[in-house]
């Protein structure tokens, strides 16, 4: 027996949800979730590239310091470069931030 709105074949908790949420609402929710996942993925490759660059810079600095343990001033440029790439890596944000909407103004009641 098919449920008329969602095509569920057997009665279950999922088929009960099919009757409770209209098709347009489900499509809208799926669209929002897919959009959020796509937006979250936009900065991930950039963050990975920045992390790799920071690791290479740190390795270069460590090698320089190992080779020039008595004269660390020779590695000053590499240290500054390493710090700059680490700042760049740390500045890339991969989190999604949602700002709650403000309520509509109530013009009937002045404040």
pLDDT tens digits for range 59-84: 999 999 999 989 989 999 999 999 99
- Element (H or E) spanning 98, and its range? none
Task: State yes or no: pLDDT of 104 exceeds 90.
Answer: no
Query: Structure pTM?
Result: 0.50
Sign of the alpha-carbon torsion through 63, 65, 71, 74:
positive
What mean pLDDT do residues 91-95 have?
A: 75
The mean predicted confidence, pLDDT, of the chain is: 76
pLDDT band at 9 (very low <50, low <70, confident <90, very high): low
If one counts every other C-beta atom within 10 angstroms of the C-beta of residue 82, the result is 22
């Amino acid at each position: 027996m098919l449920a008329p709105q969602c095509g569920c074949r057997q009665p279950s908790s999922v088929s009960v949800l099919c009757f409770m949420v209209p098709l347009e609402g489900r499509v809208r929710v799926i669209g929002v979730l897919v959009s959020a996942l796509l937006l979250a993925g936009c900065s991930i490759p950039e963050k990975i590239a920045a992390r790799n660059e920071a690791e290479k810079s740190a390795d270069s600095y460590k090698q320089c310091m190992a080779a020039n343990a008595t004269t660390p001033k020779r590695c000053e440029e590499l240290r500054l470069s390493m710090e700059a790439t680490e700042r760049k890596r740390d500045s890339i944000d991969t989190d999604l931030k949602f700002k709650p909407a403000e309520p509509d103004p109530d013009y009937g009641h002045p404040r």
